[in-house]
Structure 1
Amino acid sequence: MAGVRLVTDSSCDLPQDVVDAHGITIVPLTIRFGDEELTDRVELSSEEFYRRMGTFDGLPETAAPSPGAFEEAFRKAGADGDAVICLTISSALSATMASAQNAARAVEGDLDVRVIDSKSITAGLGTQLTLAAEAAAGGADVDEVVSVIEAAIPRTHILGGLDTLENLRKGGRIGGAQAMLGTMLSVKPVVDISTGVVEEAGKVRTRKKQMLFLIDKLKEAGDVERLVVCDGEAPDAEEFADLVAEVVPRERFTRSTIGPVIGAHGGPRMIGITWLAAATS
Structure 2
Amino acid sequence: MSSIFVITDSTAYLEQAYIDANPLKIVPLSVHFNGKVSKEGAPGSFDDFFGQLADSNSFPTTSQPSAGEFLEAYEQALSQDMEIIVLTISSGISGTYQSACTAAELSGASHRISVIDSQTTAGNLKALVQMAVTLAHENRPREEIVSFLEKQKYNSGIRLTVNTLDYLKKGGRLSNAGALIGNLFNIKPVLGLIDGTVQPVDKTRGKKKALEKMIASIPADASMIHVAHAMASTEAETLRRQVAEQFPDATVVLSELGPVIGAHLGPGAMGILYLWPVTD
Fold in common (TM above 0.5): yes
Residue 256 of structure 2: aligned partner:
257
Q: In 2, Cα distance between the equivalents of 1:72 and 1:251?
A: 37
The amino acid of 2:266's aligned partner reads G
Residues 194-213 of structure 1 mapped to structure 2, 5 A cutoff: 194-213=194-213
Three-state SS of the structure 2 residue aligned to 1:151 is helix
Q: Is the 8 A contact 1:124 1:156 kept in 2?
A: yes
Q: In 1, Cα distance between the equivalents of 2:209 and 2:58?
A: 29
The amino acid of 1:69's aligned partner reads E
Residue 224 of structure 2: aligned partner:
226
1:134 Cα deviation after fit: 0.8
Residue 29 of structure 1: aligned partner:
29
The amino acid of 1:6's aligned partner reads V
Q: In 1, Cα distance between the equivalents of 2:169 and 2:113?
A: 35
Q: Which moved more, 1:14-23 or 1:145-154?
A: 14-23
Three-state SS of the structure 1 residue aligned to 2:208 is helix
The amino acid of 2:167's aligned partner reads N
The amino acid of 1:224's aligned partner reads A
Q: In 1, Cα distance between the equivalents of 2:36 and 2:249?
A: 40
Residues 74-153 of structure 1 mapped to structure 2, 5 A cutoff: 74-109=74-109, 112-153=112-153
Q: In 2, Cα distance between the equivalents of 1:78 and 1:165?
A: 45
Q: In 2, Cα distance between the equivalents of 1:90 and 1:166?
A: 24
Q: Is the 8 A contact 1:2 1:81 kept in 2?
A: no
1:58 Cα deviation after fit: 1.6
Q: Is the 8 A contact 1:223 1:277 kept in 2?
A: yes
The amino acid of 2:136's aligned partner reads A
Residue 59 of structure 2: aligned partner:
59
1:168–1:76 Cα change, 3 Å: farther
Q: Which moved more, 1:52-61 or 1:157-166?
A: 157-166
Q: Is the 8 A contact 2:104 2:110 kept in 1?
A: no
Q: In 2, Cα distance between the equivalents of 1:41 and 1:223?
A: 33
Q: In 2, Cα distance between the equivalents of 1:7 and 1:184?
A: 40
The amino acid of 1:56's aligned partner reads S
Q: Is the 8 A contact 1:120 1:194 kept in 2?
A: no
Q: Does 1:39 align with 2:39?
A: yes
Q: In 1, Cα distance between the equivalents of 2:182 and 2:130?
A: 35
Q: In 1, Cα distance between the equivalents of 2:178 and 2:115?
A: 34
Q: In 2, Cα distance between the equivalents of 1:81 and 1:4?
A: 9
Q: Is the 8 A contact 2:4 2:23 kept in 1?
A: no
Point out where structure 2 has 5 or more consecutive residues left out of the alignment.
none
1:2 Cα deviation after fit: 7.6
Q: In 1, Cα distance between the equivalents of 2:145 and 2:277?
A: 19
Q: Is the 8 A contact 2:237 2:254 kept in 1?
A: no
Three-state SS of the structure 2 residue aligned to 1:246 is helix
Q: Is the 8 A contact 1:33 1:56 kept in 2?
A: no
Point out where structure 1 has 5 or more consecutive residues left out of the alignment.
none
Q: Is the 8 A contact 2:27 2:70 kept in 1?
A: yes
1:174-221 C-alpha deviation (Å, 9 max, x unpaired): 4xx99x947533311111115311121211111111121122222xx1
Q: Is the 8 A contact 2:240 2:253 kept in 1?
A: no
Q: Which moved more, 1:185-194 or 1:241-250?
A: 241-250
The amino acid of 1:83's aligned partner reads E
Query: Under a length normalisation based on structure 2, what TM-score does the superposition of the two structures give?
Result: 0.89
Aligned pair count reads 274
**Identical aligned pairs, as a percentage?**
32
1:244 Cα deviation after fit: 1.3
1:20–1:64 Cα change, 3 Å: same
Q: In 1, Cα distance between the equivalents of 2:61 and 2:171?
A: 8
Three-state SS of the structure 2 residue aligned to 1:22 is coil
Q: Which moved more, 1:126-135 or 1:47-56?
A: 47-56
Three-state SS of the structure 2 residue aligned to 1:223 is coil
1:138 Cα deviation after fit: 0.7
1:36 Cα deviation after fit: 0.9
Residue 239 of structure 2: aligned partner:
240
The amino acid of 2:197's aligned partner reads V
Three-state SS of the structure 1 residue aligned to 2:195 is coil
Query: Under a length normalisation based on structure 1, what TM-score does the superposition of the two structures give?
Result: 0.89
Q: In 1, Cα distance between the equivalents of 2:136 and 2:20?
A: 15
